[in-house]
Amino acid sequence: MEKIVTQAQVWLEQLLNLMGFPSSVAIAAGKENTLTMGPWLVIDEKGLSPEQIERLLAENGLALDAIQYLLNASLRPAVVESSVNFTPITVELAEFRSRRQLELISLSETAAQRVRETHEPVEMADMTAADRRQVHSFFEGSQDLETESQGYEPHRRLVIRPRR
């Protein structure tokens, strides 16, 4: 797994350079948390202008999500070849993911409380695929609640309901 994460780090640095955003990327130690259990790659924001950071984080991190998706997709052949148990890599910039995860935890806990009180499903607002995946994982171990994605992109929503 370590070899694959290092490969991802190099890939991300090369992509950023090709995009005109030259920056170093660090493998974050201890960044694993409640919603995302895999490794994190942190883009060093010091080498980026405020405008470059804004472009990467605009539209609720849409570009960052796309980069993260491409990164993980590019690693699939190496993962299959090495037969390692792989958890997708999270790409972080300017604490965006950390802040977003705190928001998702709060939204998830509020929705869960409402479902438990009313015994009715709660539909959460439109979310990116990355955000939905994190909320699904948040409820994976729940004994009384389950989640389901409904609808079609870009308006796909996550529904939390009592477990059947």
pTM for the predicted model, two decimal places = 0.82
**Local confidence band at 1 (pLDDT 50, 70, 90 cut-offs):** confident
Average pLDDT of span 126-154:
90
Where, residue-wise, is CATH 3.30.1370.50 in the chain? 101-162
Residue 9 is predicted with a pLDDT of: 97
* The pLDDT of residue 88: 87
Q: Higher confidence at residue 133 or residue 8?
A: 8
Q: What is the pLDDT of residue 117?
A: 98
Mean pLDDT of the chain: 91
| pLDDT value at residue 69 | 94
Cα torsion 45, 51, 55, 56 to 10°: value is 0
Within the chain, all domains assigned CATH 3.30.300.20 are found at 2-94
pLDDT tens digits, one per residue of 11-39? 999 999 999 999 999 998 765 554 566 89
Of 54 and 125, the structure prediction assigns the larger pLDDT to 54
pLDDT value of residue 30: 60
CATH 3.40.50.2300 fits 2-94, yes or no: no
For residues 55-75, one letter each, b for 16 or more C-beta atoms within 10 angstroms of the residue's C-beta and e for the rest, the string is ebeeeebeebbebbeebbeeb
Out of 1.10.645.10, 3.30.1370.50, 3.40.50.300, 3.40.50.150, which CATH number does the structure's domain 101-162 have?
3.30.1370.50
| Res. 84: pLDDT tops 90 | no
Q: What percentage of the chain has pLDDT greater than the value 70?
A: 95
